[in-house]
Amino acid sequence: MSDDSRNVPKLRFHGFTDAWTKRELGEVATIYDGPHATPTKTESGPWYLSISSLVNGHLDFSLSAHISEDDLPLWSRRVSPSPGDTLFSYETRIGEAGYWDFDEPAALGRRMGLLRPSESIDPWFLTFVYLGSSFQEVIKEHTIQGGTVERIPIADMSNWLVTIPALAEQGEIVDLMRTLDDLIAANERKCDHLRQLKRGYLQQLFPAPGSTTPRLRCPGFEDPWKQRRLGDLGTAFTGLSGKTKEDFGHGDAEFITYMNVFSNPLATIDGTERVEIDSRQSEVKYGDVLFTTSSETPEEVGMSSVWLGNRENVYLNSFCFGWRPLVGIDPHFFAFMLRSSVVRNKLVFLAQGISRYNISKSKVMEMLIPVPSIEEQRQVGRLFTDLDRIIALHQRKCEHLRQLKRAYLQKMFV
């Protein structure tokens, strides 16, 4: 721990004791802004970098566009990004920045600025300084509110103060921050790969329309799957009824929220809110399947979730209905089978409405679903549950690393 009055960070590497130096931003970087109009965008060609492509200190090219080779000289006449530049937003997405590390032609978008570092500052360190909590406070201090749009006066930025150490200490900090970024990116790639694998399994581990067997099966299973009416396998029940807003937010009972059902094949146990105990309501039990009844688009109607909680006095929100199996089923299998494309397509077909879409509980009970033996159900359910567990593990790792990076951005910069 060091004395902040000497312009030193709270946390620093061993061997560095000198105070950091206050400099005007214009001394350590040249500041440019992009064009003030929008060009014609094309399917391919040089990158046209919009402020929406700035994500967590990097550039997400999936959120950028292209312009033609012929238009590039016009739209990059002020400046064209070079490797080592820091790109930032000076309007609407205030505080966002990203490092440009590509030796290829590109043009800045509207509301996009650029910092070109001098020899006195490490290019990556400049990006991390911009994202650090101290400089973010400087940005907030100078932000101008114009109606519903926030902006920073890019013409004044050269006078803003930054505090920097010697190049050797800059390099140590950059190495640490980039290592964290690499670890975050590796875990994000792993998550993306596992999500793609899961999407593939959701297509291949359940029979296609008109088929009685899936394209891909767990070893040892050959019998055809049966098409069963959902209503023949269990009974439906309604969500909360007869309630007003005064009934919610307190009480010794709880209800499963709409978003919990909508977002999770397996409902999260803590995704509930408080309500008073009411013996007239249907309680949700372990293994119950929950369906949303309405949405703004047909593709989002009838989203399903399975409840694996064992608590008493748990109800279902009024915008969903439940289904309780009366025969032996594997709840994990049903959780993912009902989210497979073959079943989702059937549910979307049942959606009715114009500006808002609804689904009939009775129609859902008539729906045919593919059901294998209980042994195969357990195998398939276990596979998807394990995949989700591994995805969640990598997501937690990513969030932990992001929190660690945020802490370092706060404590390792002045």
H helix intervals, 31-166: 72-75, 123-131, 133-142
Residues 393 and 374: their CA atoms lie apart, in Å, by 28
pLDDT at 279 over 50: yes
Q: What is the pLDDT of residues 383-404, one digit of tens each?
A: 999 999 999 999 999 999 999 9
Residues 256 and 272: their CA atoms lie apart, in Å, by 5
State how far the alpha carbon of 90 is from the alpha carbons of 149, 156, 236, in Å: 11, 12, 54
Top-confidence residue, 77 or 183: 183
The share of the chain scoring above pLDDT 90, in percent, equals 80
pLDDT at 11 over 90: yes
Amino acid of residue 350: L
Sequence spans of domains, the chain: 21-164, 166-223+372-414, 226-370
Q: Check for a shared fold between 21-164 and 226-370.
A: yes
Question: What's the Rg (C-alpha) of the chain?
Answer: 28
User: Residue 91's closest CA among 41, 48, 138, 148?
Assistant: 148
Strands 58-59 and 54-55: antiparallel
Asked if residues 360 and 350 have their Cβ atoms less than 8 Å apart, the reply is: yes
pLDDT at 50: 87
At residue 292, what are phi and psi to the nearest 5 degrees? -75, 145
Residues in CB range of 48: below 8 A, 6 or more apart: 39, 41, 64, 65, 66, 67, 75, 106, 107, 109
Q: What is the pLDDT of residues 207-258, one digit of tens each?
A: 998 899 999 999 999 999 999 999 999 999 999 999 888 889 999 999 999 9
Orientation angle between helical segments 167-204 and 374-411, nearest 10 degrees: 160
- What CATH number labels 21-164? 3.90.220.20
Q: What is the pLDDT of residues 147-159, one digit of tens each?
A: 778 999 999 999 9
- pLDDT, the chain, mean: 92
Residues 357 and 352: their CA atoms lie apart, in Å, by 5
Using pLDDT thresholds of 50, 70 and 90, give the confidence band for residue 77: confident
CATH entry, 166-223+372-414, from 1.10.287.1120, 3.40.50.300, 3.30.470.10, 1.10.3720.10: 1.10.287.1120
Fold designation for 226-370: Adenine-n6-DNA-methyltransferase TaqI; Chain A, domain 2 (3.90.220)
Strand partners, 322: 237, 290
Strands 357-358 and 294-295: antiparallel
Q: What is the pLDDT of residues 260-272, one digit of tens each?
A: 999 999 999 999 9
pTM equals 0.79
276: burial class by Cβ within 10 Å (0-12, 13-18, 19+)? middle
pLDDT at 5: 53
